[in-house]
Amino acid sequence: MATIHDVARKAGVSSATVSHVINNSRFVAADTRQRVMDAIEALRYRRDGVARSLRRAKTSTIGVIIADISNSFFADLVRGIEDRIYGHEEGFNLILCNTDEDAAKERLYLDVLQERRIEGLIMVPTGENSAYLQDLIRSGLPIVFADRVVEGLEADQVVVDNEDGAYVLTSHLIAGGHRRIAVLRAGLTAPTLERRIDGYRRALGEAGIPYDPALVISCRHSIEDAHQAGLRILDSQNRPSAVFCTYNYMTLGMVQAITDRGLRCPQDIAVVGFDDFAWAASFSPRLTALAQPAYALGQEAADILMNRIGQGALAAPVHKMLKGTLVVRESGGPAAQMG
């Protein structure tokens, strides 16, 4: 691999001149600059980013930790982050880590990112490394929680109004005449899911419908687990008329269960889901969902982090809450259609 000294010899200049050309740190005559650039191209020279970061005491690198890159919600969130930092005047790079909702894996990536000397972190936390994260916050590492928070930790955060979104979805079902509404809950430790249950309960309470904990069915957060849980709901003796799915994988599993049992949606059972996705309108019936602003969530998180890195300590943690949008299609149809 070519070094800066190799470039200097080929261009017939000093190593310092090559450095000034690369970093644009001092005026260099046009013909000299061109010789250096030609030498760089001929030798395929690449700067040593690690050494450069050590000299500058900065890495211009941020870490991003998400739960599941195969989930379209998190993919959109990452795209929002990436588009925001791309072309930033500081030339920030991004290191992406995927936890698969595994707290041990999250802890490992936190260690790795510190070794890489990241200047800031955006993360979707599992909720199970609070003491470790508290130490990182106290150390001065800028951290922005996106989509989820860790209760008890004071840090910058950008989240969706989960309670309001669940309230809107449940109210939509109630307005259609549904009274017995089940919940298919993803078995995650994040307080995000609890807020969605809170919204569901609030909508029931305002409509005078008693809350029945037996109608809240929890399962692991995979599509297959949701499918099996959906089958149990459909096979129950007193089947509900509608199901509120708290996570997009829950929605997919529930729809698969309805198909497997040869039932019709919404005629036999209605379904609504928290989080819309690109192919929801391609289902038959098309899926009613709460669309989360995942891309905007990523952009907001990146803005807060860049501001925090650029300005240092601010007066207080920034808390932003974005609203979801109800997308009404056919799957959440009224109870009057049943039978």
CATH number at residue 273: 3.40.50.2300
Spatial separation of the C-alpha atoms in residues 205 and 273, rounded to whole Å: 20
216 and 277 together in one domain: yes
Spatial separation of the C-alpha atoms in residues 122 and 113, rounded to whole Å: 11
306 and 255 together in one domain: no
Spatial separation of the C-alpha atoms in residues 314 and 64, rounded to whole Å: 21
75 and 138 together in one domain: yes
The reply to whether the predicted model has a pTM over 0.85 is: no
Render 250-299 in DSSP notation, one character per residue. HHHHHHHHHHHTT--TTTT-EEEEES--TTGGGSSSPPEEEE--HHHHHH
Count of domains for the chain: 3
Strand partners, 272: 244, 288
232 and 303 together in one domain: no
Provide the residue-wise pLDDT of the chain in tens; the chain has 339 residues: 688 888 889 899 888 888 788 776 678 888 998 998 899 888 888 665 444 443 444 678 999 999 999 999 999 999 999 999 886 666 788 999 999 999 999 999 999 998 888 999 999 999 888 999 999 988 889 999 999 999 889 999 999 999 999 999 999 999 999 999 999 999 887 789 999 999 999 999 999 999 999 999 999 989 999 999 999 999 999 999 999 999 999 999 999 999 999 999 999 999 999 999 887 888 889 999 999 999 999 999 999 999 998 776 556 899 999 999 999 999 999 875 443
168 and 199 together in one domain: yes
332 and 227 together in one domain: yes
285 and 174 together in one domain: yes
17 and 124 together in one domain: no
Spatial separation of the C-alpha atoms in residues 134 and 150, rounded to whole Å: 10
133 and 278 together in one domain: no
208 and 277 together in one domain: yes
84 and 174 together in one domain: no
What residues make up the domain containing 80?
Answer: 56-159+294-322
> For residue 28, with 0-12 CB atoms within 10 Å meaning exposed, 13-18 middle and 19 or more buried, which class applies?
middle
Spatial separation of the C-alpha atoms in residues 155 and 125, rounded to whole Å: 12
41 and 19 together in one domain: yes
- Whether 25 contacts 19, CB under 8 Å: yes
